[in-house]
Structure 1
Amino acid sequence: MNNQNQLYDIGVIGLGVMGKNLALNIVDNQYRVAAFDLDEHKVKDTVRQEELERKQYLKQHRQPRLVGCNNLSEVLSSLEKPRILLLSVPAGGPVDGVCQALIEAGIERDDIVIDTGNSLWTDTVEREQRYSKDFLFFSCAVSGGEVGARFGPSLMPSGSLTAWNRIEPIWQAIAAKVDASTGLPIERFEPGNPVKEGEPCTTYIGPAGSGHYVKMVHNGIEYADMQLICEAYHLLSQGLGLSASEVADVFAKWNQGSLNSYLMEISADVLKQADPLTGAPLVEMILDKAGQKGTGLWTAVSSLQIGCPAPTIAEAVYARAVSTQKSQRQQLSQLLAGPADNSDAELDKQAFIDQLENALYCAKVSCYAQGFQLMAMQAKEQGWQLDFAEIAKIWRAGCIIRATFLQSITQAYQQDSGLENLLMADVFAKALSDKQGNWRIAVSHAVMSGVPAPCISSALAYYDSYRSEVLPASLLQGQRDYFGAHTFERTDKPAGEKYHLNWSSDRKLHKV
């Protein structure tokens, strides 16, 4: 119960994994929190954790920095006005449920309610309009999982600039930090001792919905990045015969170079882990059925709706879907023939490992190019002014796709803010041109050995499509005109002029 004589800086509603850790992060940065959850055990657990950490790490701080509240009315009465409330509840109905409950509890028009869940961006746009007469609805996508929330996430806020100006100091304090010159994360995982130096991984993204859209694309890239690493593992284990531990060593080495990333680091760690029950590699005891929460799907759907090619992101979603078809795969593994047994006895394993490293780097560039192009096309559609250098900067630490690689993307957009496609940046155009031969060898080996590599190969197809001045879409448009009179443009006439051939009779050409 709150001591009514003391008012707090921010309310945190929803004390699940993310909400609890965000609350503890906030108090570590010298802000006072009033916390509430429908589950009173979560409230007590959060209060207990704050007290434990305060006594263990901050002996000079005797006063509680966090208070547990019994209801939303108590949260509102505990906060300095105008109030700031952070929601950490499941996307969808629960967000609106809390908003309605806050209205009933007496929230005021200049109070700020911040949705930090994985909401669909269009829902966020609609909510800002719906609640505009009751309070300032704001949104902030959060990436980094449990550890990121606790010690520094990547934060993607969007909505009212008035709201952003008020919460910016808190957000900059709790966000992950990077070294400005190297782009490397500055990390410290010590309660009560937050990282204060370096550049914060947060920036104002833009109008309502833009932050959640950027986070959605981040998650789509995350799906693809994870699948690319999994395909490399498959090629090294099944295609090359390396043990899980040997693949871990390869990944650990790659992590020292241009493929340095959080996902590469944890992949090596997972592959090294022995199963506590059998002693076998844990990865071989985990059922090969991958789950998903929907943000990768939303990204793929958005790319289709807006007409932006993002095949690698879509293939990553499909790969998870295929993985769930375990029983069919078991049956078809006995029915469908693969390539003849080709042990590749003469294959130079180290040479192939090096080629695959290049292939993985190229596919990663291709994947990020797709994601940034998707954001650019949606921004144009919505009238958003997205700063892609800043977006790349805030992904360098705190989030799941954090990687050294993002420093190069940041610099590419700093040098040319109007860059239409990452493949046009000199640094990437040269790297992919130099490495594409090895990329093709890796894809060819996957095909000839029967190891599925949908993301690595689709990324190559994306690269080849964009480097092709002429595509067979001329035939496709001819087909469309043949059966549906859909017309076509001509290579020798001004752009926009439409023509139709009378295929069914005299085959005369008509300008439409």
Structure 2
Amino acid sequence: MSDSLCDIGFIGAGVMGKNLILNLADNGYRVCAFDLDHHKLDALLEQDARERGDQPARVETCNSYTELLSRVKAPHLVILSVPAGAPVDDVCNKLLDAGLKADDIVVDTGNSLWTDSVTRCKRYEGKLIFFTTAVSGGEVGARFGASLMPSGDPYAWARIEPIWHAIAAKVDPKSGQPIERFEPGNPVTEGEPCAAYIGPIGSGHFVKMVHNGIEYADMQMICEAYDVMRSALEMTPAEIAEVFREWNEGKLNSYLIDISAEVLATVDAETQQPLVDIILDRAGQKGTGLWTAVSSLEVGCPAPSIAEAVFARSLSTRKVLRGRAAKKLHGPDIGPVPEAERAEAIQQLHDALYCAKICVYAQGFDLMKLAAREQGWQLNFAEIARIWRAGCIIRAVFLQSISDAYERDIKLSNLLLDDFFIEQIASNQGNWRRAVADASLRGIPVPALSSALSYYDAFRRESLPANLLQAQRDFFGAHTFSRVDRPENEKYHVQWSEKGRPMVKV
């Protein structure tokens, strides 16, 4: 490599970092990388050598923060791919000690909590420009095109935008389908990039957090459909894989359905059993789904299906306790679905998954809307849906319809009120209800599918039993209530312990 300076400094050459670096290199950017673990740098150089063949080296490495800055063009652009939390601050402080200036940009691409990003931006104000970009798509997305959710200083975005548009996943603007090519050195350059400026610092990571919450629910609902087919229809994993492949040809087309089919079709090399049957049913989580559920509670936004997906993972970890309960607790004694009714039951599950999926996205976009109002963000929901069409884990053909809904009405208060989705649920809810009811009658847990149905039914009710609840609160805590026949801002309290129970205006 020549002695000319690099375009970008990159810190962190782990799985995500290494693949982002190679993606940048594929798109013509010269990168100088640093990692405290020199073995990771060696692996990066080895992979670059394998991929570029007899072409000149595209990536270089260094041994310190000071050397990194000396080999990158000023004003510096330094991208971080380090664990969230304290490591981000540690790197920022070391870069400042190494000579980073106030007009240099540091971009955090880790899975940071959005409030931490807001705090860091204030902490480093006047010392460096702290910018964030949430990255979705995992290892493959980082290497060949991810969904990118940047937020922070608009000046920084102006510098970063062409870089992010180059390395982002691309979609066909007419069909909304991903344009994918997994060839090192031959990046996808055509199509619309799945990268768009989200807004002020923290907003990008908030949007990514909600993305992950939706991801939790989507995965859980697919698992519930699988469980019903396995338990009630007595289908083999291979048979269920075929069903998922069929579903992936229609309106349930998505990355998660696609990989679920592949997983279920996979046979364990050691035992020759379906691989899914030898995987322990104890699910892990890294916290972003939990953060989404907590945020929904904090802003008062109902997101029950996302919360149920988090709870389902938590319950899965109670493996020993579940084993004891399985020996003592009894469910309904109902036989399997007759073979002649299998096709109908599968169609019911398909429609249930589709309707519940609409409700989960409605919950997620509602949460973003309420948070944006609270934080003063101007989020473009049509654009957010567009950048999720490729590169990210929840990419699906379904997202084009969401983008279209917000294009039709940028002030759409809830996805369930869009005419297209009103019609979709109206025409499919019968099977949704039958699928949930049948699972309940058979003792098969479907917490995400059923909570989505309850959310839909509560949302469409003009009157809910919260009137009794508010009376209960006034009875034991004098919390007051409003009357339906008076202005809502007028509050009343009943003297419950007195004869005649007089009512007083508070």
TM band (smaller chain): over 0.9
Equivalenced residues, count: 505
Q: 2:93 is paired with a residue of what secondary structure?
A: helix
Q: Which residue of 1 aligns with 2:52?
A: 54
Q: Following the alignment from structure 2 to structure 1, what is the Cα–Cα distance between the partners of residues 21 and 497?
A: 70
Q: 1:334 is paired with a residue of what secondary structure?
A: helix
Q: Which residue of 2 aligns with 1:78?
A: 71
1:329-344 equivalences under 5 Å are 329-344=322-337
Q: Following the alignment from structure 1 to structure 2, what is the Cα–Cα distance between the partners of residues 355 and 46?
A: 48
Which amino acid in structure 2 is aligned with residue 170 of structure 1? I
- 2:87 is aligned with 1:94: yes
Q: 1:450 is paired with a residue of what secondary structure?
A: coil
Aligned counterpart in structure 2 of residue 37 of structure 1, from 35, 38, 59: 35
Displacement of 1:494 after TM fit? 1.5
Which amino acid in structure 2 is aligned with residue 511 of structure 1? K
- 2:470 is aligned with 1:477: yes
Q: Which residue of 2 aligns with 1:247?
A: 240
Q: 2:10 is paired with a residue of what secondary structure?
A: strand
Displacement of 1:302 after TM fit? 0.4
Q: Which residue of 1 aligns with 2:359?
A: 366
Q: Which residue of 1 aligns with 2:207?
A: 214
Q: Following the alignment from structure 1 to structure 2, what is the Cα–Cα distance between the partners of residues 241 and 389?
A: 41
Q: Which residue of 2 aligns with 1:305?
A: 298
Superposition RMSD in Å: 1.0
Which amino acid in structure 2 is aligned with residue 304 of structure 1? L
Q: Are the aligned partners of 2:238 and 2:265 in contact in 1 as well (CA < 8 Å)?
A: yes
Q: Following the alignment from structure 1 to structure 2, what is the Cα–Cα distance between the partners of residues 184 and 410?
A: 13
Which amino acid in structure 1 is aligned with residue 36 of structure 2? L
Displacement of 1:290 after TM fit? 0.2
Q: Following the alignment from structure 1 to structure 2, what is the Cα–Cα distance between the partners of residues 153 and 105?
A: 31
Query: Mean alpha-carbon deviation: is it higher for 444-453 or for 335-344?
Result: 335-344
CA shift digits 1:446-483 (9 cap, x unpaired): 10111100000000000000011110000000000111
Aligned counterpart in structure 2 of residue 14 of structure 1, from 12, 27, 31: 12
| Unmatched 5+ stretches in structure 1 | none
Q: Following the alignment from structure 1 to structure 2, what is the Cα–Cα distance between the partners of residues 270 and 346?
A: 25
Q: Which residue of 2 aligns with 1:504?
A: 497
Q: Are the aligned partners of 2:352 and 2:432 in contact in 1 as well (CA < 8 Å)?
A: yes
Aligned counterpart in structure 1 of residue 117 of structure 2, from 116, 124, 144: 124
Q: Are the aligned partners of 2:234 and 2:336 in contact in 1 as well (CA < 8 Å)?
A: no
Q: Following the alignment from structure 1 to structure 2, what is the Cα–Cα distance between the partners of residues 248 and 331?
A: 31
Aligned counterpart in structure 2 of residue 224 of structure 1, from 217, 222, 225: 217
Aligned counterpart in structure 2 of residue 351 of structure 1, from 341, 344, 352: 344
- 2:423 is aligned with 1:430: yes
Q: Following the alignment from structure 1 to structure 2, what is the Cα–Cα distance between the partners of residues 406 and 460?
A: 20
Displacement of 1:181 after TM fit? 1.1
Q: Following the alignment from structure 1 to structure 2, what is the Cα–Cα distance between the partners of residues 12 and 445?
A: 53
CA shift digits 1:263-315 (9 cap, x unpaired): 00000000000011100000000000000000000000000111100000000
Q: Which runs of 4+ in 1 moved over 4 A?
A: none
Displacement of 1:345 after TM fit? 3.0
| Unmatched 5+ stretches in structure 2 | none
Displacement of 1:346 after TM fit? 7.2
Displacement of 1:347 after TM fit? 6.0
- Percent identity, please: 61
Displacement of 1:245 after TM fit? 0.4
Q: Which residue of 1 aligns with 2:286?
A: 293
Q: 1:348 is paired with a residue of what secondary structure?
A: helix
CA shift digits 1:394-442 (9 cap, x unpaired): 0000000000000000000000010111000111011001111110000
- 2:31 is aligned with 1:27: no
Q: Which residue of 1 aligns with 2:442?
A: 449
CA shift digits 1:1-31 (9 cap, x unpaired): x86x310000110000000000000010011
Q: 1:481 is paired with a residue of what secondary structure?
A: helix
Which amino acid in structure 2 is aligned with residue 275 of structure 1? D
